[in-house]
Amino acid sequence: MDTITLTADLDALAKISAFITEAAEQCGLDERATWQVQLAVDEAATNVIQHAYDLEHPGNITLSWACESSRFIITLRDQGRQFDPQSVPEPDISSPLEDRQVGGLGIYLITRLMDEARFDFHPQEGNVLTMVKYLSASLRDDVVVMPVKGRLDALTAPQLNKSVHVQIAAGARFVLLDLSDVAFLSSSGLRTLLLIRKELMTLGGELRLAGLQPQVHEVFALTGFTQVFAIHTTLEEARSSFGLGRA
């Protein structure tokens, strides 16, 4: 295990990034996984710097890492104010961009980018955040791929919703919709996709989309939903992005 302790101010972020990037490379993470770790650590460190201490009297932040078996383990510690992640509201990622409230995105990104994230508080150690990234990237064997064809509008969206719910009732939690044959998408179709995504997330699963035609992708871009949905160019890329299964 390697460790670095720095003063918890914004000047530390560049050193933290360099430290964790080198660690990720030593552990054999690929470029995409290294970027995910960089962003998760930056969000966590920024939260400590901005909220754990008074800006006029910054304390320390300690970052440690280790490679154990098939896991890259990162630990951040600080002696600042006790942090309770349950006190942070869920970020609003479904409203129009101009209507969204700021806040909660840092924790949301951490939990989405890392395979495991655990927040603890110990009287002696203070706040302890443990994050884990799996080193191997074997494909999940429980991804349900569903092709969608033609129009996705007020008439056809309910049928898609019904079809996905049949899969969810049968135990599906990781759903990949192949939209390569969808030539038209309306707001009704978007709403249905949002509802499906929300239900799968509630169940601990994921919804991913692949193969969007240009005009369909433009609808996502116009509404800002490219920032909400996991959108991939190919089915292969989408399948691999689900990553390892979790116990």
pLDDT in tens, 138-165: 567 889 999 999 999 999 999 999 999 9
State the CB neighbour count (10 A cutoff) for residue 36. Answer: 20
For residue 75, give its domain range: 2-134
Q: Are residues 121 and 168 in the same domain?
A: no
Q: Are residues 191 and 108 in the same domain?
A: no
Q: Are residues 21 and 102 in the same domain?
A: yes
Chain segment 61-87, per-residue pLDDT in tens: 999 999 987 899 999 999 999 987 666
Domain endpoint, select from 97, 113, 134: 134
Q: Mean pLDDT highest for which of 66-70, 183-187, 234-238, 241-245?
A: 183-187
Q: Are residues 107 and 180 in the same domain?
A: no
Q: Are residues 31 and 14 in the same domain?
A: yes
Q: Is 182 helix (H, G, I), strand (E, B) or coil?
A: strand
CATH code, domain carrying 199: 3.30.750.24
Give the Cα separation of 200 and 177 in Å (integer).
13
Q: Are residues 158 and 222 in the same domain?
A: yes
Q: Does some domain include residue 107?
A: yes
Parallel, antiparallel or unpaired: strands 116-122 and 2-7: unpaired
Domain endpoint, select from 110, 134, 158: 134
Phi, psi of 150 (to 5 degrees): 75, -130
Q: Are residues 108 and 191 in the same domain?
A: no
CATH code, domain carrying 36: 3.30.565.10
What's the pLDDT at 87?
67
Domain endpoint, select from 134, 155, 186: 134
Q: Are residues 124 and 74 in the same domain?
A: yes
Q: How far apart are the first and last CA of the chain?
A: 25
Number of independent structural domains in the chain: 2
Name the token pair of 240: 């691999």
What's the pLDDT at 67?
92
Phi, psi of 9 (to 5 degrees): -130, 170
Is the separation of the CB atoms in 139 and 239 below 8 Å?
A: yes
Q: Are residues 114 and 212 in the same domain?
A: no
| 3-state helix vs strand vs coil in the chain, percent to 5 | 40, 30, 30
pLDDT band for 88, please (50, 70, 90 cuts): low
Q: Are residues 105 and 51 in the same domain?
A: yes
Stated pTM of the model: 0.54
Q: Does some domain include residue 246?
A: no
Q: Identify the weakest region by mean pLDDT among 28-32, 42-46, 139-143.
A: 139-143
Q: Are residues 128 and 147 in the same domain?
A: no
Q: Are residues 163 and 88 in the same domain?
A: no
